[in-house]
A and B are shown apart, each in its own frame.
Chain A
C-alpha cells in the first residue's frame, strides 16, 4: 500500500463515508471524544454527524478542537487514519458549517475542483 499522501484524498463529510469505502479521503471535524485506549476518536462534521477515526498506534499527544484527518475509509465506514493535523483556532474559530457547505459545492462542481 503506497503512501496515500502522494495521491488525491477526496474531501468528504460523514454523509459521504458509505460511498467511499476503501478510498483515500480527507475529513475535517471537531473532536467529540477520545477512546481511553487512545486508538480511536470521534469527530463531528459541520452537520453535527459523527465519524469514527481509528489509529494504528495510540495518540502520543493531546488533541482538541478541529482536526483534519487523512486516511482510508474502512468497510465499517470508519476512517483508518494515516495522518492528522489540528486546525489553529488561536486567532479565529473555524466555521465548520461553512466548510461542510463548501464540501457540497466541490462535490457538485467536481469538474471545477478535481481530485486527481
Chain B
C-alpha cells in the first residue's frame, strides 16, 4: 500500500524513550465522532480529545462525495455530528483494478484510519473503508464511542490521581490545586458508587434501595451524589431515572 507508519519524515534522529512510549500508548483504535476529531488538539505529532491521546480512529458515516484521482480516492464522510470529514484512501497503483473500488455516495461506511491535520484542516488517512452490510453496526458504533471515551477519560483521571489515592473509588488525597473534583470523589459519592457497583441485578440499584442501605444520608444527598456520578460517567440510568448501574460492572 501507499502508506506506512515509519517516522521517516520527521528528520530527527531515532526517537527518545519518551517518544517511543508515547507512540506505543496511542496504538489503540478509538471509535470517534467527526465532531470529536475536529475538536482534537494537536500536541506535537499526536492528537488529544479532552486530554485522551488518539491516533488510529474509526468513524461510521455516510459517503456524501467520492472523487477518484490517480493515486488516491478522496471521500467526504458524514456522521451528522459536524460537517462531512475528508477521508483519503491511497490507491495501490501497482495493483490492477480490484482492491480500491470507489464506494458510491449514499453508502454507510466504517472507516479505520489515522487522524491528520494539515494547514489547520483535519482529515483521515484511511487504511480500511468498509461499506456496512448490517446497519446495526452503525448503532453499535454509537454505543462504542460513548463507552470508549467514558472509559478512556476515567482511566486518565484515575492515573492522574497519583499513588496516594485508592484505585477503585478514588477516595484519597487531592493531588493538586484544581477546581474540578478530578482527584477523587467525596465520601458520600464513593459510598453511593460502591453500592451501585456491587449490585448484581440487571436493572441496577434504585434510589430507594440506596436510601435503605445508607441510613445516614438524606434522599437529597443521595440524589446529588447520583447526579454527579452520572455526569462523570461512573454510572448510568437503566429502566428509569430511579435505577442505576455502574459503567464498571462486568
Residues on A facing B (Cβ under 8 Å): 5-11, 26, 66, 70, 85, 87-89, 91-92, 94-95, 98-99, 102, 105-106, 108-109, 112-116
Contact = CB atoms under 8 A, between A and B. Distances in A.
Interface of B: 33, 35-36, 39, 62, 64, 78, 80-84, 106, 108, 132-136, 139, 142-143, 145-146, 149-150, 153, 230, 233, 236-237
B136 A95 contact: yes
Nearest to B36: A114
Contacts, number: 81
Nearest to B78: A5
Contact of A102 (B62, B80, B83, B143): B143
Nearest to B35: A114
A105 B149 CA distance: 13
B219 to A, nearest CB: 21
Contact of A89 (B106, B135, B146): B135
A105 to B, nearest CB: 6
A5 B105 CA distance: 14
Given A109-B150, A115-B35, A66 B135 contact: yes
A113 B84 contact: no
Contacts of A115: 35, 80-82
Contact of A87 (B33, B78, B80, B135): B135
Given A11-B80, A109-B146, 15 more contacts: A5-B83, A9-B80, A89-B135, A92-B133, A92-B134, A92-B135, A98-B139, A99-B139, A105-B143, A105-B146, A108-B230, A114-B81, A115-B80, A115-B81, A116-B35
